[in-house]
Amino acid sequence: MEVLVKGAGVAGLAAAHELAARGLRVTVADPWRGGGRAAASWYAGGMLAPYCERESAEQPVVELGLRAADWWEAALPGCVLRNGTLVLAPVRDAKELDRFASRTTGFERVGEESIATLEPDLGARFRKGLFFATEAHLDPRHVLVSLAAKLAASGVSFETDLSQYDSTRFDWIIECIGRSTPDKAIRGVRGEMLLLRTSDVSLSRPVRLIHPRFPVYIVPRGDHTFMVGATMIESDATGPITARSMMELLNAAYGLHPAFGEAEIIETGTGVRPAYPDNLPRVVREGRTIAINGLYRHGFLLAPAMAQQAADMILDERNRTP
Ligand SMILES: Cc1cc2nc3c(=O)[nH]c(=O)nc-3n(C[C@H](O)[C@H](O)[C@H](O)COP(=O)(O)OP(=O)(O)OC[C@H]3O[C@@H](n4cnc5c(N)ncnc54)[C@H](O)[C@@H]3O)c2cc1C
């Protein structure tokens, strides 16, 4: 059975992996093989944080995301770091931390001493926080490139020239094209991010800062690099980061540790998250086409579960067919 996966963002590559692992012949078509600059996936933080996300997301995000870290680890051994998430608030925003706690589970409250043990560089700077010990993170770009390479090595074909394949020869099409979908129900939510480099700060895990306008976080990437994200703007605009967003993200980083003030800004980027009105993802079948979309803030967290649902649909149908 031959399957065409359109789109090589996180949804498409996860689907291709799941289908190939179940013995189907897979072709992936995307002008940007392995998650390129057009993909929201390229700009993601890579947090696998189902409990933290519950602060602003519905319960299915927790349930669908709980096994994501195991799925990624099985797909690409060694790619997942299971160091948890630390949520911090400046003293003036202590009430906001309580509000965050009231909307989430899976954490322990931590004080100055525990924060210093977890993240020695933040020690004396914060008095209260929440530690979500079972959460994880990964490097999205490493994962996208490595997964595409692994799939190619295991026999999955990649097509970057979209005029070169005949989609009618496939038994199934899995459409994972994010914001490029013609589905009118999908909207874009612009997310701006920065990459900073400094050897004066070390972090072992994503740190989220309570912020009045949008959830700000800093994710360590290794090689003294940190991803600072991310704005949440109801817009499809893919243009460069605005001065205001840049100031807010840099202020947050500086608020976490003043040494970020001396960091090099090595990249700024903008991704457009595809979202349904309820901000929950969907796997929608129409004939022999299955669309996976609406991953919103949770592409790396929810793509494994969506890929499994799509693969189940195809295999259930095959098993039913005499
Ligand atoms: C700043 C930012 C931070 C984020 N942080 C996190 C995070 O920490 N954790 C998390 O889980 N999620 C995070 N997300 C969300 C996550 O990035 C998205 O949910 C996810 O990338 C959506 O993946 P996708 O594959 O559906 O779409 P995309 O990544 O946009 O991929 C779509 C692909 O389809 C291709 N395409 C388009 N049209 C066609 C066509 N006609 N034929 C073939 N291919 C086509 C495009 O080239 C692209 O490669 C973040 C997003 C942003 C912007």
Answering whether pTM is above 0.75, one says: yes
Which of 3, 159, 177, 246 for mutating ligand 1's site (highest number of atoms within 8 Å of CB)?
177
Over residues 236-276, the pLDDT tens digits come to 999 999 999 999 999 999 999 999 999 999 999 999 999 99
Q: Which atom of ligand 1 is nearest to the CA of 189?
A: 53
What is the spatial distance between Cα 212 and Cα 96, in angstroms, rounded to a whole number? Answer: 9
Nearest by Cα to 126 from 195, 203, 227, 190: 203
Q: Is 31 in the pocket of ligand 1 (CB under 6 A)?
A: yes
Domain coordinates in residue numbering, the chain: 2-66+138-184+277-320, 85-133+187-275
* Burial of 108 per CB tally in 10 Å (0-12, 13-18, 19+): exposed
How many CB atoms sit inside 10 A of residue 93's CB?
A: 17
Q: Is 299 in the pocket of ligand 1 (CB under 6 A)?
A: yes
User: Which pLDDT does position 287 carry in this prediction?
Assistant: 95
Q: Which atom of ligand 1 is nearest to the CA of 45?
A: 8
Residue 123 pLDDT grade (very low, low, confident, very high; cuts 50, 70, 90) = confident
Which of 71, 295, 301, 302 for mutating ligand 1's site (highest number of atoms within 8 Å of CB)?
295
What is the spatial distance between Cα 167 and Cα 177, in angstroms, rounded to a whole number? Answer: 15
Mean pLDDT computed over 132-156: 97
Q: Which atom of ligand 1 is nearest to the CA of 181?
A: 38
Q: Is 46 in the pocket of ligand 1 (CB under 6 A)?
A: yes
Alpha helices in the chain (DSSP H): 10-21, 50-53, 59-65, 68-75, 94-102, 112-118, 140-153, 243-256, 299-320
Residues in the chain, total: 322
Superfamily of segment(s) 85-133+187-275: D-Amino Acid Oxidase, subunit A, domain 2 (3.30.9.10)
User: Which pLDDT does position 15 carry in this prediction?
Assistant: 98
> HSE on the CB side for 261, CA within 13 Å?
7
Ligand 1, atom 22: closest residue by C-alpha: 299
What is the spatial distance between Cα 69 and Cα 303, in angstroms, rounded to a whole number? Answer: 11
User: Which pLDDT does position 130 carry in this prediction?
Assistant: 97
The mean predicted confidence, pLDDT, of the chain is 94
% the chain with pLDDT above 90? 88
Q: Is 269 in the pocket of ligand 1 (CB under 6 A)?
A: no
* Burial of 179 per CB tally in 10 Å (0-12, 13-18, 19+): buried
Which of 5, 6, 18, 30 for mutating ligand 1's site (highest number of atoms within 8 Å of CB)?
30
What is the spatial distance between Cα 286 and Cα 315, in angstroms, rounded to a whole number? Answer: 16
Under 8 Å between Cβ of 9 and 41: yes
Under 8 Å between Cβ of 143 and 72: yes
Over residues 175-228, the pLDDT tens digits come to 999 999 999 999 999 999 999 999 999 999 999 998 766 679 999 999 999 999
Ligand 1 midpoint to CA 38 (Å) = 8
What is the spatial distance between Cα 131 and Cα 255, in angstroms, rounded to a whole number? Answer: 19
Architecture of domain 2-66+138-184+277-320: 3-Layer(aba) Sandwich (3.40)
User: Which pLDDT does position 33 carry in this prediction?
Assistant: 61
Over residues 1-52, the pLDDT tens digits come to 999 999 999 999 999 999 999 999 999 999 876 555 679 999 999 999 999 9
What is the spatial distance between Cα 133 and Cα 79, in angstroms, rounded to a whole number? Answer: 18
Q: Which atom of ligand 1 is nearest to the CA of 229?
A: 1
For helices 140-153 and 10-21, angle between their N-to-C axes, nearest 10 degrees:
40
Contacts of 60 (CB under 8 A, 6+ apart): 280
DSSP state letters, 41-76:
GGG---EE-HHHHTTTS-HHHHHHHTTHHHHHHHHS
Q: Which atom of ligand 1 is nearest to the CA of 6?
A: 43
* Burial of 320 per CB tally in 10 Å (0-12, 13-18, 19+): exposed
Residue 165 pLDDT grade (very low, low, confident, very high; cuts 50, 70, 90) = confident
Q: Is 301 in the pocket of ligand 1 (CB under 6 A)?
A: yes
- Residue with the two structure tokens 């210093």: 116
